Structure 1
Amino acid sequence: MKFLSIQSSVAYGHVGNSAAVFPLQRLGHEVWPVNTVHFSNHTGYGAWRGPMLPADDVREVITGIGERDEFANIDAVLSGYQGGSDIADVILEAVDKVKAENPSATYTCDPVMGNAKSGCFVSDLIPPLLRDRVVPKADIITPNQFELGYLTDTQPTDLDSTLASVDAAMQMGPKTVLVTSVERPDRPEGTIEMLAADETGAWIIQTPFLPLKANGSGDVTAALFTAHYRSTGSAAEALKNTTSSVFDLLQLTLDSGERELQLIAAQDAYANPRDQFEVTRVR
């Protein structure tokens, strides 16, 4: 498959396109990264250098790809962290142009806003923009539990309320929802879950909780889930393969003692995901 990935990039470390591109390539897919920022490192360090690219410059890069007559060959568009509010227009324009030439193409939006521990860490303009304009145009969304609650004006906590929030998200437009970092109060201690749903059902998967802050892991997750879902047509299979790959990436990173994702060292986990966690149908 061929992916158009419109995301941030960093020189040092792995977030945005610097996290999503290589795992997709390791699976054998073609990826055309379009960068929205090019920072020295991710913003979690509290200091960084480099430019946030003007929306018109990002648009020009995408226009150039179109001038190669390649929009018809794009199978999926990906977007993640949006540094400025004007990037949304560029992304949505790109989605419209790709789908006009390839109606079977899909758009995956990772609606990056924040998390339950840190709260919202993007500009105040971004969350309502994602909720009102971007998410309704997406085919697949990959929010964490906190972001899902904001998008749907709900409070997902236990399984039933999380499924209700997923239903509310699907009513906004997306046909498929992957919820990361699901933390049900009744789950076994020391575990964490992900949940995937589409029109055929909903499935949950549980792994051990690994004690590390892994910037970029959500970008890897969104990319891998999209690739597996598009390849297999099965949300359950995509959930299982994605979870296995990301868990092994995080375990390797934890064992390394490094702050940045060990993205390259974990490459076999993307190409050959292990059958190590059980997927449970919950609807």
Structure 2
Amino acid sequence: MAILSIQSHVAYGYVGNRSATFPLQRLGHDVWPVNTVQFSNHSGYGRWRGQVFEPSHVADVVGGIVERGVLAQCQAVLSGYMGDAATGAVILDTVAQVRAANPRALYCCDPVMGDVGRGIFVRPGIPEFMRERAVPAADIITPNQFELEYLTGRTIRTLEDALAAASAVRELGPKVVLVTSLQREGTAPGTIEMLAATQSGAWLVLTPLLPIQPPPNGAGDAVAALFLSHLLRGRDAGEALGETAASIFGIFSATHAAGARELQLIAAQEELVAPTRRFAVERVA
């Protein structure tokens, strides 16, 4: 299956397309990566080199793919860090072109905007674009807890809050919501949860929260790619959640064992296809 992935790129480390492309390929997908930025490394290091590409550059690259006459082969569009709100319009135009060529194609939007402790970290205009245009156009979204709160204007403290927020954001358009990091009242210390919600139900999985400092960047990008892959393979949201949680925990475990800052996607690649440890998925709605 072919997936068109439009997001950031770094030469060193694993975020954006560097975090999404290899896992998708290892799971058997043909990936067409289009980069919204090219940096030496992710911004978490405090210093980096490179540039945010102009929206016209992104559109030009996509246009070249269109000229190959292959859009009907594309099963999904995956978007992440956009770099600029104007690039978002190019992404949505690309989604429209893919859907015209293949009406069954899915759009998975990772609404990268911010996180707990950091707040909003993208350029002005991107959060509003995500809420008003990108999320309503998506079939699947993969926000973290902070992003879900922003999209819905709700504070999440309990499971009921999280379920209500997931329901509210689905009313904007997406059919499937994956909350990639959920920490709520009553959750055992040293653990973290992910929540998947659809019209037909909601599922929760809890895994250990490994003490990696600083937390590796790019985990959300890998999670979005893994979740999309499993949905494309015909798994329901609960099954896709379980597979995704098992694989990302395996990657985190290898990263922790190595004492590394960057996700150990290559060294621990078997965790993508045959995770060492699995976790119970609980249906909660």
The residue identity in structure 2 corresponding to 1:273 is: P
In the aligned structure 2, how far is the partner of 1:12 from the partner of 1:82? Answer: 19
| Kept in 2: contact 1:7–1:34 (CA 8 A) | yes
Q: Deviations over 1:242-261 (max 9, x none)?
A: 00000010111111111111
| Kept in 1: contact 2:78–2:107 (CA 8 A) | yes
1:270 to 269, 272, 278: 272
Secondary structure (helix, strand or coil) at the match of 2:127 reads helix
RMSD: 0.9
Q: Which residue of 1 aligns with 2:254?
A: 252
Structure 2 residues not aligned, in runs of 5+: none
Q: Which residue of 1 aligns with 2:263?
A: 261
Q: Which residue of 2 aligns with 1:128?
A: 128
The residue identity in structure 1 corresponding to 2:104 is: S
Q: Which residue of 2 aligns with 1:221?
A: 223
Q: Deviations over 1:194-233 (max 9, x none)?
A: 0001122000000011122110010000000000012124
Runs of 4 or more consecutive aligned structure 1 residues displaced over 3 Å after TM superposition: none
Alignment of 1:161-172 (within 5 A): 161-172=161-172
In the aligned structure 2, how far is the partner of 1:266 from the partner of 1:164? Answer: 36
How far off its partner does 1:8 sit? 0.4
The residue identity in structure 2 corresponding to 1:81 is: Y
Secondary structure (helix, strand or coil) at the match of 2:233 reads helix
Alignment of 1:1-283 (within 5 A): 1-212=1-212, 213-274=215-276, 276-283=278-285
In the aligned structure 2, how far is the partner of 1:230 from the partner of 1:25? Answer: 13
In the aligned structure 2, how far is the partner of 1:124 from the partner of 1:50? Answer: 20
The residue identity in structure 2 corresponding to 1:272 is: A
In the aligned structure 1, how far is the partner of 2:173 from the partner of 2:275? Answer: 30
Q: Deviations over 1:240-283 (max 9, x none)?
A: 00000000101111111111111101110111134520000000
The residue identity in structure 1 corresponding to 2:166 is: V
Q: Using structure 1 for the length normalisation, give the TM-score.
A: 0.98
In the aligned structure 2, how far is the partner of 1:22 from the partner of 1:236? Answer: 23
| Kept in 2: contact 1:225–1:239 (CA 8 A) | yes
The residue identity in structure 1 corresponding to 2:273 is: A
| Kept in 1: contact 2:152–2:165 (CA 8 A) | yes
Deviates more, 1:271-280 or 1:13-22: 271-280
In the aligned structure 1, how far is the partner of 2:78 from the partner of 2:181? Answer: 20
| Kept in 1: contact 2:3–2:75 (CA 8 A) | yes
In the aligned structure 2, how far is the partner of 1:122 from the partner of 1:156? Answer: 22
The residue identity in structure 2 corresponding to 1:162 is: A
Q: Using structure 2 for the length normalisation, give the TM-score.
A: 0.98
In the aligned structure 2, how far is the partner of 1:174 from the partner of 1:274? Answer: 32
Q: Deviations over 1:144-183 (max 9, x none)?
A: 0110010011112210010000000000000000001100
